[in-house]
Amino acid sequence: MTESVSTSRRSSIDQSLLLPAEDTDEVAAVVRRLRRAEGQIAGVIRMLEEGRDCRDVVVQVAAVSRALDKAGFAIIASGLRKCLAGQGGTTDPAELERLFLSLA
């Protein structure tokens, strides 16, 4: 059942807003970010299992959250660039990141 839910969610996403697979440099950078976040999450789990101080855990959770935000930005930014450039808008990475983060 979860596969049909995942498939229907995937099909409802505007594919033009996703990172194109042929843009290998951008894809590789996003994959590196996500792998780093994956390692951070494993670290947070270990910290919880070891009973580490909650302040330290919260700091690490915040770092993971920022890493995931940046990965999400990178994935969506290519679509934003296309959209805004087509309308004569900005393609400045800092401005695109600000626009993306304003969605949260």
Say how many C-beta atoms besides its own lie within 10 A of residue 85's C-beta.
11
- Hey, what are 103's tokens? 């969605």
pLDDT at residue 14 is higher than 70? no
Write down the mean pLDDT value for the chain: 75
Looking at per-residue confidence, does 10 or 77 come out higher? 77
- C-beta separation of 23 from 78 below 8 A: yes
Task: For residue 64, give the nearest of 49, 89, 44, 91 by alpha carbon.
Answer: 44
pLDDT at residue 104 is higher than 70? no
Q: Provide the pLDDT confidence category of residue 73 given band limits of 50, 70 and 90.
A: confident
Q: What is the pLDDT of residue 87?
A: 62
- For the chain, domain boundaries: 19-101
Q: Which CATH superfamily is domain 19-101 in?
A: Metal-sensitive repressor, helix protomer (1.20.58.1000)
